[in-house]
C-alpha cells in the first residue's frame, strides 16, 4: 500500500526512477556535510555567480533529474548525457529553501576528491516535491539495507571499488604491453647487422698473441734484411741430384772447356764459327745441324 507521507510507489523508485526537470545553478564546495546554514551560504554564493552570468547574457542551463534508490542523476535533457551521478549513500543532506520556494539543494561527497559539494537547483513548481522524492528514496534504501542485514550497500561499494581497480589494472597492463613491445624492437635492432656488413671471425692466438703453428700450414721463406730472398740450399737430398735415368744432370754454367775431349771441342769451335758466318750472308740464316757429316 502507498504510504500517505510519500508521493510515489516503492517500485517506482526501486525498479525505475522518477524524472524531474529543473534549472541547475551549479555546485560549490562546502566545509560540512550537513546543516541549514551551510546550505544557505552555498545558495547565496551560487545565486550571486548566476546573477553575474545572467548580466553577461548567459541563461541558466536546464537539466533532467532521475531519482531512484540508487541516487540522483543529472542529465542533459536533450542528449541524455550524464553530467553528474550522485550515489545515494554519498548524499548526506537534502533540503528546500523556505524563503525561496523555487530552490532546493542536497550535499554529496565527491567520489574522486572526497570533497563535500552542495548542488543547487531552481524549480518553479516542483522544488518541495523533488525534495520529498529524494527523502522517499532514502527511506526505501534504508529499509532495503536493513532487510539485507547491512550487506546491500557494502556490496555496491565493493563492486564499485572492484570496477575501478579493474580499470586501473587494464590501463597498467596496456602500458606494460607497450613497453614490452618497445624493448623487443630494440633487441631486434641490436642483433641485426647493418646492410652490407660482413662478420669476420677473428683468428685465434696463443698466450703470446701469436698465431699457433700448424703442420698443414705451408712455410713461406722470409725476406732477408737487404730485401733479397735467402740463397737456395747448397746440398740436396741424394734422390734429387739424379735425373730419371740415374745420371748426373747437365749444368752448362758449371762446365769448363777443358772438360770436353780435344776432338769434340774442335768441332764445337767450327760450329760456332760457321754459325757466325751464316748470320752475315745477306740476312739468310742457315740451320746448323750438329749431326751433319761436314762437322
Q: Helices in the chain by DSSP H: which ranges?
A: 10-14, 36-55, 127-147, 152-191, 262-279
Distance CA 77, CA 80 (A): 6
Coil, helix or strand at residue 109: strand
Long-range contacts of 40-44 (CB under 8 A, 24+ apart): 40/97, 42/105, 42/118, 42/120, 43/97, 43/100, 43/103, 43/105, 43/118, 43/120
* DSSP letter, residue 234: S
CA distance 118 to 285: 135
Q: Is the pLDDT of residue 287 over 60?
A: no
**Cβ distance 117 to 83 under 8 Å?**
no
Over residues 46-68, mean pLDDT: 93
> pLDDT for 5-39, tens place per residue?
678 999 999 999 999 999 999 999 999 999 999 99
What does the pLDDT look like over 118-158, one tens digit per residue? Answer: 999 999 889 999 999 999 999 999 888 888 776 665 566 66
Asked if residue 145 lies in contact with residue 154, where contact means CB atoms within 8 angstroms, the answer is no
Greater model confidence, 163 or 99: 99
The alpha-carbon radius of gyration of the chain (Å, integer) is 59
119 CB neighbour count, 10 Å cutoff: 23
Please give the grid coordinates belonging to residue 213: 703453428
What confidence score (pLDDT) does residue 283 get?
A: 44
Amino acid at each position: 500500500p502507498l504510504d500517505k507521507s510519500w508521493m510515489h510507489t516503492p517500485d517506482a523508485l526501486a525498479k525505475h526512477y522518477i524524472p524531474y526537470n529543473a534549472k541547475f545553478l551549479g555546485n560549490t564546495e562546502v566545509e560540512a556535510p550537513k546543516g541549514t546554514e551551510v546550505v544557505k551560504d552555498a545558495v547565496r554564493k551560487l545565486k550571486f555567480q548566476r546573477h553575474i552570468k545572467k548580466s553577461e547574457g548567459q541563461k541558466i542551463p536546464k537539466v533532467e533529474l532521475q531519482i531512484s534508490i540508487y541516487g540522483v542523476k543529472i542529465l542533459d535533457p536533450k542528449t541524455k548525457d550524464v553530467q553528474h551521478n550522485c550515489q545515494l549513500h554519498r548524499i548526506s543532506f537534502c533540503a528546500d529553501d523556505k524563503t525561496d520556494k523555487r530552490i532546493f539543494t542536497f550535499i554529496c561527497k565527491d567520489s574522486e576528491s572526497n570533497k563535500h559539494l552542495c548542488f543547487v537547483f531552481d524549480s518553479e513548481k516542483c522544488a518541495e516535491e523533488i525534495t520529498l522524492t529524494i527523502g522517499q528514496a532514502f527511506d526505501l534504501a534504508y529499509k532495503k539495507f536493513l532487510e539485507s542485514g547491512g550487506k546491500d550497500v557494502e556490496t555496491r561499494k565493493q563492486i564499485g571499488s572492484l570496477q575501478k581497480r579493474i580499470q586501473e589494472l587494464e590501463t597498467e597492463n596496456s602500458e606494460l604491453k607497450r613497453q614490452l613491445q618497445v624493448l623487443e624492437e630494440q633487441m631486434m635492432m641490436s642483433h641485426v647487422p647493418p646492410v652490407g656488413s660482413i662478420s669476420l671471425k677473428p683468428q685465434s692466438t696463443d698466450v703470446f698473441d701469436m698465431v699457433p703453428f700448424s703442420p698443414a700450414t705451408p712455410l713461406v721463406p722470409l725476406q732477408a734484411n737487404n730485401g733479397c730472398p735467402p740463397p737456395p740450399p747448397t746440398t740436396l737430398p741424394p734422390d734429387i741430384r739424379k735425373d730419371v735415368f740415374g745420371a748426373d744432370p747437365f749444368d752448362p754454367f758449371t762446365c769448363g772447356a777443358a772438360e770436353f775431349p780435344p776432338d769434340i771441342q774442335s768441332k764445337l769451335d767450327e760450329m760456332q764459327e760457321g754459325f757466325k758466318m751464316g748470320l752475315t750472308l745477306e740476312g739468310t740464316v742457315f740451320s746448323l745441324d750438329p749431326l751433319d757429316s761436314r762437322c
